[in-house]
Amino acid sequence: MLLFVGLGNPGAKYAGNRHNVGFMAVEAIAKRHGIGPWRRRFQGVAAEGPIGGERVLLLLPGTYMNESGRAVAEAAHFYKTAPGDISVFHDEIELPPSKVRVKVGGGIAGHNGLRSISAHVGNDYRRVRIGVGHPGVKDMVHAHVLGDFAKSERAWVETLCDVIADNAGLLAKGKDATFQNKVHLAMDAKGFVAPKDAEDK
């Protein structure tokens, strides 16, 4: 069983936050692949179904961001899922808006959701890093990620979540580079182009 985890905070007041783009992406995957219904499991909500010929559990932790690892660890333990079969979709301030990067392992870059997951299951899981941009001042990061996407951003957010959902089968098959490339090309074709000089760090 593969595990696709969307990171975010539960509840209506957080639903439009940049910090919740992981939730948005995984919800789009569920919709695109006809996976459901969502059920209360593993300290959150989960749905199970096939993606790219693989069995996948979609999980949205209900523990709040800082305790995401509790939900992930419970699901991983139940299915005996190795860290390498876990993909975590999350907001990334070090990437420009609409840019996506996939990597396995690495640092947590101050992301409390990743910190919690690494503490519970180790560091060798896949991160699907969804760029939300940096406010430019460190002291403004908290307000930036817990702020809603602006109206002007919603078009690329919805498009990107749909493109991620369209290509989720590549992630399920472990074709990370192909997934990343297809997402970039699709966003480019739709007119959403991230700055070329802003590479991931």
- Tell me which of 19, 90, 134, 184 is the catalytic residue: 19
- List phi, psi (to 5°) of 27: -65, -35
Query: Rounded distance, CA 15 to CA 30, Å?
Result: 17
Residues 159, 187 contacting (CB under 8 angstroms): yes
Of residues 19, 30, 5, 1, the one with CA closest to residue 125: 5
Of residues 37, 32, 43, 34, the one with CA closest to residue 5: 43
Cα dist. 177→114, 151, 174, 182, 191 in Å? 21, 31, 9, 9, 21
Angle at 75 between CA 160 and CA 1, to 5 degrees: 70
Tokens representing 95?
Answer: 């990437």
| Residue 19 is a catalytic residue | yes
Which amino acids are annotated catalytic?
Answer: 19
